[in-house]
Structure formats: C-alpha cells, structure tokens
Amino acid sequence: MKILVTGATGYIGKRLIPLLVNDDHHVVCAVRDKLRADKSYAEEDLIDVIEADFLKPETLHNIPEDIDVAFYLIHSMSNSSKDFESLEERCAINFKNRLEKTKVKQVIYLSGITNEDNLSKHLQSRKNVEDRLESDAYGLTIFKAGIIVGSGSSSFEIIRDIVEKLPFMIAPKWLNTKTQPLAVRDVLAFLHRSIGREDLYNKSFDVFGPEILTYKQMLLQFAEVRGLKRYILTVPVMTAKLSSYWLYFVTSTSYKLATALVDSMGVQIIGKPSTINERLDVQPKPYKEAVSLAFEKIEQNSIVSSWKDSMISSGRLRNNLHKYINVPTFGCFKDYKERPVTDAKRTINKIWSIGGKTGWYYGTFLWKIRGYIDKLFGGIGLRRGRTSPTELDAGDALDFWRVIFADKAQQKLLLYAEMRLPGEAWLEFKIEDGLLKQTATFRPRGLWGRLYWYSVLPFHGFIFKGMINKLVTN
C-alpha cells in the first residue's frame, strides 16, 4: 500500500516508518521541514519525504492523491500558545479537507484515553480532534492510549530522572493518580496491525497495559528494575504550579511541558475493555517488562526516537530550521579559532560525540554552571543531554543546543543555542583546507545583549581555546 505518515519526525512516527517499509509499503513522510527527516530515508526507494504544514493548507498539495492509508500522529504537549486547542483543531480540519480529495480508504489516529468527566485541556483537545477527523470519505480508526513506556518517551525519561536522582522524595499528591501504562512496542503493534482492517473502520479502541498503577507505584517499580531503593512521601499541599516547578527542577523537561504534564497527570487514565487485543493478537506487556526492554535499547545505544528531539522540548525553536541555517554576520560578535587537523576522521568523530555524557572536552564544569544558571532562569539547562552518544541529525537536541545542520561528508556541524540569552547564538565546527574552523556567533538583543557578551568573553577565550585544542589532538 501507499501510506502517508504525518508526525514523521515524532516519537511514534520515527518508529513506525521502518515497520511499514519492512512490509514493502510505500511510505510518504509528511514533515514541516525536510532538514529534520532522517538522512537514511533518501537512500530508501520505498520512502518519499514531502514538506507539509497542516496549519498552512497551501502546503498540503504535496500530499499525493493515490494514498491508501494515512496515520495522523500530530500531537502537541506544549502549552506555549494559549490557543493551542484551536491550532490542533485547525490541523485536523486541514488534514481532513485534503485527505477527502485523495483516494485514502483508512485514517488511523493515535489519541489519548478520555473516559473521565473532567479532562485536562490537552486530553480534551485530543478528543476534539477525534471529532474533527470523522468523515464519510474514509474509515477512521482511533486508538486511545495512556502513558507510553519506551526508551526516549517523555514519561519514561522523566520517571528515570526522578528515580535515579532522588533516593527520597517529597512528591505532589498527583502521584496517587491511577493509570495503565502501555509499552511503546505494543502501541506500534496496534497501529501496524490495524492497516487495511475494514472491521476497524469508524471505530475507537482504548489500548492499555495489563496493570492499573499509580504514578507512585510506577516510580517504585522502575526503581526495582534498576536495583535501587527509593522512598516516596506524597503531600497534599503542592499546588499545580508548585508541582510543575518540582518536575521542572528535578527532571530534564521544560517548564511549559512540565505544566502540561501535571495538568494531565491529575486525571485518572483507565481504559475501557474491548476485543481489540484478540482481534489484532496483541498481548500488552506488564510495566516492569516494558521498562526492562527500554533499558535494553538504551544499553545497545539503539534509541530510535526521543521526546527530547521533538520541538516541544525546544527552548526557542518551534518549527522551521531553515531560517537559522544561515548564520548572520551583520551586528554580531564572533569568537573564531582554527587549528591544523592531522586526523580528520578522528576529529569529526569527536565533534559528533560532543555534549551529553561525553561533555565538552574542556571546561565542562563551566558548561554545567551555565546549565544550572539557565535552569534557574527558566531555561532548559544541560539535563536534556542527547539521544545517541555518537550520531547527530538536524533537529536533534544537544544539551541546551539544537542541531541545525549535521553532515559528516561535508565535515560540518552547526548548533543553535536554546538557552536563555539576551540574543541569539550559533556554534559551528567545520573542517576546511586541512583546518578545523570553530566559530561562536552571537547576535545581541539591545544593550543587555552587548553587556552579556563582554561579561562572558573571558570565559569564552578559556573554554573555546581549550575545546578546539582537544578536538584536534589524538
């Protein structure tokens, strides 16, 4: 079949695409920015990458008319926009309007479990999207999941942060909220096996794991899998705002995402039983098994996708990477250094491993201090790390940077700062004419931007000189 995948750079989309290709389906990946598409897609005959922004109907003509099935995987956990509900509704309406002009037979939507009377605004938005996607032109299949457990998922990484950092915690009362966590492998199995199933047209199914657990139980069971002893005391005095700050400072999430998560975690997520497990022959895994499987992927350095690489974890960027790829020169401050390169391959591998657990090769403690300061002022800090220890692609998160351009063949890496700054900053590494050229560019915003640059200039001289020296030495 010819299958359209929206949200192709997202957590679920990136994992679903290889399954579809393995079945010899022709996959059309719809992305807002081609720079963010996996480079391997260009080498795959069964994958086409198109640019389509569902908030801009004029871009949707790129969607081919001869598709058979479409996956709607467009979600937003960011509440940075006050009218995000209307934005999600517009996306769904524009998607439907375009799909009704194609030959699509089935649309498959991954939503959230919405069985409570009082829903968070994000869950209510998911429910509204379900209504907007209904059409007489195609069969709509809806899977409604709760907490998804897998390497790189937001819930998994946030729980991991909490468990591995805090032996004892005084936690908000929402830790007593009940939910039914579901392994990401099982989510993919439901989506994958529903393709072309006419008996699932115009039907909705809750999909969930075999256990009903509180978030507190999830934390404690996670600790058991990791061989850690943890103690949790829940208190009723934490407001939603305090809870959001607690989650923000303890974990790698942004404050805006923390607020959205706290809003949703106050709602019980219990699914309604159905026959979908038997129909699709999926037996969801228990929570502890899902956690163990996730760590197998982590230990093998084979995490396919991570919520941290999504733009919802972005401190500054939102959609289009193209506008940041041309580093400005006018009105900018620069720190430029170059060194002869004796082993280009070794230097490139070092550059591609920078940040995360590897650190920044020189003055890493100063980078950490800058990360703590950033976190203190509402930024994302260094905790976000990186998904892969050795690979980088455009759109990836890298500590408090975002990868704008990464091409080993061209021997160039360009990063854009997502930390809190009175201006904008880029960091570029490029090997050219036997030289490693390292350029830090800062475009200040007003007087405060200029004062900031001169205040950190002594540290830049120390850090950037040491870093480039380490990158070119064997």
Average pLDDT over residues 406-433: 91
Q: Which two tokens stand for residue 181?
A: 């966590």
User: Which positions ≥6 away from 345 have C-beta within 8 Å?
Assistant: none
Which residues is 206 bridged to in the sheet? Answer: 144
Say what the pLDDT of residue 459 is: 86
Average pLDDT over residues 19-24: 92
| Closest C-alpha among 95, 108, 88, 68 to residue 203 | 108
Average pLDDT over residues 153-166: 81
CA 60, chain centre distance (Å): 24
Q: Regarding predicted confidence, which is higher, 176 or 43?
A: 176
CA 433, chain centre distance (Å): 36
CA 130, chain centre distance (Å): 23
Can you count the helices (H) and strands (E) in the chain? 14, 19
Say what the pLDDT of residue 254 is: 67
Task: Give percent of the chain above pLDDT 90.
Answer: 45
SS3 65: coil
Say what the pLDDT of residue 304 is: 53
Per residue in 41-76, pLDDT tens? 877 889 999 999 998 999 999 999 999 999 999 876
Cα–Cα distance for residue pair 385/90, rounded to 1 Å: 33
CB 198 within 8 A of CB 279: no
Q: How confident is the model at residue 121 (pLDDT cuts 50, 70, 90)?
A: confident
Cα–Cα distance for residue pair 156/221, rounded to 1 Å: 12
Per residue in 76-109, pLDDT tens? 654 444 577 888 899 999 999 999 999 999 999 9
Task: Kindly report the pTM of this predicted structure.
Answer: 0.72
Q: Which two tokens stand for residue 75?
A: 């979600």
CB 112 within 8 A of CB 270: no
Per residue in 252-296, pLDDT tens? 666 676 776 776 777 788 999 999 999 999 999 999 999 998 887
User: Which positions ≥6 away from 259 have C-beta within 8 Å?
Assistant: 79, 240, 241, 244
Average pLDDT over residues 32-42: 79
